[in-house]
Structure 1
Amino acid sequence: MINLQIKQKFHQKIKSGVDLIDEKDINPAPEDGYARLTYNGDFVAIAYFSPQNKGIGWIISREDKDINQDFWVNLLSLAKEKRSTYFKSPLTTAFRVFNQDGDGFGGLTVDLYNEYALFSWYNPFILSQKKIIVEAFQSAYPEILGAYEKIRFKPSDYESAHLFGEKKEEKFTILENGINYSVFLNDGLMTGIFLDQHEVRDSLIEGLALGKDVLNTFSYTAAFSVAAAAGGSKSTVSVDLAKRSRELSTDNFEANGFDLEANKFVVMDIFEYFKYADRHDLKFDLIILDPPSFARNKKQTFSVAKDYHKLISDSLSILSENGTIIASTNAQNLSPAKFEEQIKKGFGPKKYKIKEKFSLPADFAVNIHDRQSNYLKVYIIEVLK
């Protein structure tokens, strides 16, 4: 562990509670590894440096301590205690048990899918610490049968692999809010479900989708559509550009025994589908807009920060009178205020009311001192006359 003298501005940032280290905090950045940070000769924090998709490192302790296996066992055990209500639930068997800086160590997430764990490594240094972290995890979670890993940085020799213990079949079902979802742990970076949306899916089950014709855009495996069907929707249409989405979506509906007659899957660019639906006078009572932060096809590129308003404006022509839009984004670089600007621009002169807002659920613990840590923004919007 190196000793590193820091400047006043970075010192103030650490005191404010922010854990993410940016290039502007220390330039040039040290080589990958742990560092003991001091200011005017006094200890400030323990950090580690390693570039990832955001920042160049993380503050991991404001106490002067060794980062050893005892440190990791304690950290993982505390995170486990935070989620005691999830472990007791008979209705949900998949959730996050360690969430980066929300649990005290940026660069690592761990999710549970029944009795199997999924580790995600976000930078080269945290991956180099795999052995000590996995051994500590096995101590804190003796009940876990096996684990897989995802490498979420480039370049990397692989994206996904079996990590330890028993192997799980290619696809299996987990429970969330009492509904079955088909998932997979060793097929690229995806798993078949985005666990951070479980509260939004629960709102669909608990009445939001009741009796409604639902359009689910960028649908992936149609998890929102399955929740809508479970909540008594009249029909669902799930639209995604990826051909594989049809197979994966069918798996989710069949896992619950839901009739496919009223639940359709369309492989198409969503902006083309808006035009198609408008030409055929299709109307929907509820439209779900949950795009990736950035996407590109042969005709155009899409950026949430610049183009989300187009999704809103294009969807209005096929939205029923007094219909509802679920506007969602996980873009970390888009503040709630900027997201609301995109929504306002999309509605134009039309009147609307934001009825409810969702952010990350409790299992996705966040650093309350850093807005970027709580990246999820989901608004339930009712269109007014």
Structure 2
Amino acid sequence: MSASDRVETKWSRLVEQALRRRAPILRDANTTALRLIHGAGDGLPGLVVEQFGEVLVAQLHEERLSLPQEAVRAIVIALARRRGAQAVYRKVFPRDRSASRARLDALHHAAAPWWGRPAEEEFEVRERGVAFRIRPYDGYSVGLFLEQRANRDRVRQLAEGRRVLNVFAYTCGFSVCAALGGAAETVSVDVSKRYLEWGRRNFAANGLALERHVFIRSDALDYFRRARRQGRAFDIVILDPPTFARVKGRRKPFVFEQQIGALATAAMEVLQRGGRLLACTNHRETTIRDLERIVRRAAGERRIESVARPKLPPDFPGDGDYAKSLWLRVN
């Protein structure tokens, strides 16, 4: 057996172990979206595989892969067949960061899958019974960040009768869960009109009327300033900014470490006494202690009554720095 054959055999064994590790969530009939392979956390550096209904999405981080793409493809196809999937789409994170953006955009927006038959452009999955609309070839992201599953659950549990502000709302997953939990009002803020429309479809997928739920296309800091002028106050504020984002029509990109301090301060200024702030980041260089220090500084003289530091869901093993979140109750 060649060295590459031995590595491929080892990877196949590690895939089997990863599935066993996820047995409880795989048995949950109300959840059809989960992470099957979490890179080095499952002993498979460079490979991330998520399942969305009958579609697998494989992320290939080339600088960390120890197998050629064709060998990885064979392993992922075997996993897809095992899971009853009908298609696999791939998202390539190239070793050479100067690689053609146009070529990658074309790859990530192609309806033709890496394997299997083309999936619908948009389809529904479930997470603990909540419906979300997924677009598997809409770029790098497909519409749902699975690491936030437990936080979405908690928002749903806390939302009854409360006013909820969801900033950097993306496709409004937190807002949907707040509405399902009986929120008196949700406000979803994002710079992307397209993502907010996607969010509206997520509301419709769950049979939610929109009378008490508002979608606002705005820069986050601009919205915070407007909310203060209007005397708005919220019982729950969700602050989940990206690490980095280019905004169409703006010269400067959004950079997390440059703006998180101002964002946290602005969030505190519209948070009701006794309200809760959920602050999240997947910025690798910002530790959970860093994030807590930033948020405490933003609170100023307000007293923080409680802090919770949720762990990642069990399908994200072995990498606690992958994403961090804090729940704070602030007086």
TM-score of the alignment, normalized to the shorter chain, above 0.5: yes
Alignment of 1:122-161 (within 5 A): 122-123=61-62, 126=65, 129-142=68-81, 143-153=84-94, 154=97, 155-156=99-100, 157-159=103-105, 160=108, 161=110
The letter of the residue matching 1:380 is W
Measure the CA separation in 2 of the matches of 1:305 and 1:353.
26
Describe the SS at the equivalent of 2:279: strand
- Matching residue's letter, 1:375: Y
Could you say which structure has the higher strand fraction? 1
Q: Which residue of 1 aligns with 2:169?
A: 219
Displacement of 1:139 after TM fit? Answer: 2.9
TM superposition score normalised by structure 1: 0.77
Q: Is the 2:159–2:181 contact (alpha carbons within 8 Å) kept by the matching residues of 1?
A: yes
| RMSD, aligned CA | 2.1
Instruction: Report whether the alignment pairs 1:314 with 2:266.
Output: yes
Which residue in 1 is equivalent to 2:296?
344
Cα distance in structure 2, aligned partners of 1:355 and 1:338: 14
DSSP 3-state at the match of 2:29:
coil
Tell me the alpha carbon deviations over residues 87-142 of structure 1, each in whole angstroms, 9 at most, x when there is no partner: 10011100000011101021110000012110001126739722222222333442
Q: Which has the larger radius of gyration?
A: 1
Q: Is the 8 A contact 1:213 1:235 kept in 2?
A: yes
Partner of residue 229 from structure 1, selected from 179, 200, 217: 179
- Ranges in structure 1 where 5+ consecutive residues have no aligned partner: 1-33, 36-64, 368-372
**Of 110, 113, 118, the match for 2:49:** 110
Give the number of the structure whose residues are more often helix, by fraction.
Answer: 2
* Code of the aligned partner of 2:130: I
Whether 1:89 aligns to 2:43 is no
Sequence identity of aligned pairs in percent? 30
Whether the 8 Å contact between 1:366 and 1:374 is mirrored in structure 2 is no
Instruction: Identify the match of residue 199 of structure 2 among 209, 233, 249.
Output: 249
Alpha-carbon contact 2:14-2:42 (below 8 Å) kept? yes
Q: Please list every run of 5 or more consecutive structure 2 residues that lacks an aligned counterpart in the other structure.
A: none
- Tell me the CA shift for residue 306 of structure 1: 4.3
Shift of residue 303, structure 1, vs aligned partner: 3.6
Aligned residue in 2 for 1:10: none
- Counterpart among 339, 356, 360 of residue 312 in structure 2: 360
Local SS of the residue matching 1:326: strand
Q: For 1:158 and 1:304, how far apart are their aligned partners in 2?
A: 24
Count residues in correspondence: 315
Pairing partner for 1:279 from 229, 254, 263: 229
State the shift of 1:243 in Å: 1.9
SS of 2:65's partner is: helix
TM-score relative to the length of structure 2: 0.89
Contact 2:11–2:44 (CA under 8 A) maintained in structure 1: no
Distance 1:107 1:130, change over 3 A: same
Q: Alpha carbons of 1:295 and 1:85: their partners in 2 closer, same or farther (altered >3 Å)? A: same
- Offset at residue 294 of structure 1 (A): 2.9
- 1:67 maps to a residue whose letter is V
